[in-house]
Amino acid sequence: MHHPPMITAYLAGPDVFLPNAVAHAARKVAICAAYGIRGQPPLNEDLASLASMTSAEAGIAIFAKDLEMMEAADIIIANLTPFRGTSADSGTLVEIGWFLGRGRPIFGYSNTATLFQQRSVDYLRQMPDPLPDVTVEGFGLPDNLMIPGAVQAAGRPAMVLPEDGQDRPFDALDVFERCVAQAAKHLGLTS
């Protein structure tokens, strides 16, 4: 019986900043494997030379390593849960742009059910707005229109959000698993 080559997914997101990042990544990799996907989290413990570098050198080394991982990946599964603001992690957004530019499939999820417009309004109640006369446009989307647009490009499924409309803790994995299942189905790995 011929088996198709395993799809490799770059597991993007600010999960690397979690205090239990390695264990969290292992759980995500196991979920991917259950759906026939080889998950590749961009952890940095494999870069032993980081300790001997300046902070800026270490940052560029991590970028180069992540870029190499992205080059080897077939798809990206991105954690687009808002991070340190109203929108997804900026580094993750660069990564989905990289995949978009190469025409590679993008799958994304957010553990936040609250739509972008409401998050922005809530944020602006707390912080001065540099453009106070500009309307906050949300378009009823889960994040800035460019983000769900990139995920849905080329007819791919929409960002996966909590089904019950309730926000999840940042490190919850139920929405991630639904996203992996959606990717596997879209790619023909499962029915």
61 CB burial (10 A radius; 0-12, 13-18, 19+): middle
Residue 50 pLDDT: 84
Residue 47 pLDDT: 64
Please tell me what DSSP assigns to residue 187.
Answer: T
Helix (H), strand (E) counts: the chain: 6, 4
Distance CA 136, CA 116 (A): 9
Distance CA 191, CA 188 (A): 7
Does this model's pTM top 0.85?
A: yes
Residue 3 pLDDT: 61
Residue 124 pLDDT: 84
Structure tokens at 118: 């409401």
Pairing of strands 7-12, 106-109: unpaired
Instruction: Name every residue whose Cβ is closer than 8 Å to that of residue 123 and which is 6 or more positions away in sequence.
Output: 85, 86
* Residue-level pLDDT, tens digit, the chain, 191 residues: 556 679 999 999 999 999 999 999 999 999 999 999 999 999 976 667 788 889 899 899 999 999 999 999 999 999 999 999 999 999 999 999 999 999 999 999 999 999 999 998 888 888 877 777 777 778 999 999 999 999 999 889 999 999 999 999 999 999 999 999 999 999 999 98
Residue 2 pLDDT: 57
All structural domains of the chain, each given as residue ranges with its CATH number in brackets, are: 7-186 (3.40.50.450)
